[in-house]
Amino acid sequence: MSRGSFVFSPMALRSLEHDKDMLERCKYKRQLASRHLSSYMLKKEAMDKTPLRSSIAQLPAICQDLVIQNAFYTGDLEAMQRLFPRGSTANFVIEPQGGEMRWVARGEGLWSLTYEQDLTTPLHITAGRGFTECLRLLLQRGANVDLAPGGTTALHESCENCQPECTKLLLLHGANANAVSEDGLMPLHVCMSPESLECAKHLIQYGATINGRSLEEGDTPLHVAARNGLQDHVELYLRYGAAVDKQNDEGLTPLNAACSQPQELQDLGRYFKVCQMLLGAGADVHTMDQDKHTPLHMACKNVNPDIVDLLLAHNACVNDMDYGGEAPMHNILKVVGYKVSHDPERIVRALLNHGSIRVWPGALPTVLKHCSGSPRTIEVLLNAYSRLKVTDTWVESVSEDVLKKHKEFYESIFSLAMNPRSLQHLARCRLRTFLEGRVHRVVPKLDLPNFMKHYLLLEYRGYMH
């Protein structure tokens, strides 16, 4: 072993191999970008009918001058005006210094830490940071608006960073609204936040393809907007003719994509509005992805009660099975313990009122163990049965902390080990069995007091009887 070297553990070697693969991919990306650049110059030469050698001579040089780079990164317009007077050109590529350090193979089993960073251009830097006047100056000095040495154009950069003025300026100077990055994304695909709405409007105004698909996933801009809960983007794309039921490579429609996205409590409302718009535009609630998950499966898994109610109102099937043999009810019960604040009891109640299959009675202690943190969910679930065989296993399934917090409710359940269900409850079960999956439609129309209707629809009472 040579001086200054050391032995890597198997785990470290695997990590280095992973980094080596990443570096190979980065190298491939640079080669691909170089080919894109050469291809662009060849096409430009053909259009301009100039000799090949002139196009080669016009290939952008690489700038490593830190003074110039600093002017771009800080948006120093005065410095840029001095550095690029009238008649000069700003058409070059920048190789930034620094960046992330990676292990690089040096041969004979030796590795070293080296900085790696993608190539960029002055347009990318200024457009991504919103330096509109600096960007304007560079464009006036002949910077190539579609140059993509790092695999993306400056237009991608401005849209991804939500810089509408820069986006509009690039488009005014001929930027390709449908340019495809090396990751297979068009500028509309990188409009992923609410602040990017104006960028999306500019792109559509300048000819962006509303149903353009990404190369890797086959997503349309509507998929991206729905997945990110961007209601204004969804409304915009639908207004301009976006295909509401186009499936991506995983079989997801925009509606599936919206329902499948994990949602925090503060996100529930905007995802609901997205689904509402998609269904209003004719989205199909029955479309399944490759794993046979329907939008209802996904909405139950992510515990969005309003979306579940919406899907059920559009005749979603509560007993569709996925490839794993699970119905929407399985999906909601598996996550109740993690989403108590999302009101999972509303979903369980809605599914049962629409005729969902029930849990096998022998599995109720397991359900009780995982869902006991949501007493209302347990109440709704157990009130779907006319008889319950309460045993010591039930008592052991509820933790001491939960029992202490909801003592009255769980004691009412455990007391059923010695007592039958009430006659009132048995009458409710008999009527619900007779109505089967029509409970949600028939009960509201019955000539009964409201409190009786609510009781038949499994309203929460906070105790079992």
Which letter does DSSP use for residue 380 in this model? H
The CATH code of the domain at 210-356 is: 1.25.40.20
Q: 113 pairs with which residues across the strands?
A: 103
pLDDT by 10s per residue, the chain, length 465: 444 444 445 555 555 565 666 655 555 555 544 444 444 443 444 344 333 222 333 457 788 788 888 899 899 999 999 998 988 888 888 877 655 555 655 555 666 655 556 789 999 999 999 999 999 999 999 999 999 998 999 999 999 999 999 999 999 999 999 999 999 999 999 999 999 999 999 999 999 999 999 999 999 999 999 999 999 999 999 999 999 999 999 999 999 999 999 999 999 999 999 999 999 999 999 999 999 999 999 999 999 999 999 999 999 999 999 999 999 999 999 999 999 999 999 999 999 999 999 999 999 999 999 999 999 999 999 999 999 999 999 999 999 999 999 999 999 999 999 888 999 999 999 999 999 889 999 999 999 999 999 999 999 999 998
* Cβ burial, residue 368 (10 Å; 0-12/13-18/19+): buried
The DSSP secondary-structure symbol of 145 reads T
Q: How far apart are CA 342 and CA 403, in angstroms?
A: 21
From the list 198, 203, 143, 139, the residue with the least C-alpha distance to 176 is 203
The per-residue b/e assignment along 36-50, b for 16 or more CB within 10 angstroms, e otherwise, is bbeeebeeebeeeee
Domain edges within the chain: 1-179, 210-356, 358-465
CA dihedral 165, 170, 176, 181 (to 10 degrees): -80
- List, as one string, the DSSP characters of 309-331: HHHHHTT--TT---TTS--HHHH
Considering the segment(s) 1-179 as one domain, its CATH architecture is Alpha Horseshoe (1.25)
- Report how far residue 200's alpha carbon sits from residue 20's, in angstroms, rounded to the nearest whole number: 37
> Model-level pTM?
0.82
| 210-356 and 1-179 share a CATH fold | yes
**How far, CA to CA in Å, does 280 sit from each of 255, 274, 293, 456?**
11, 10, 21, 31
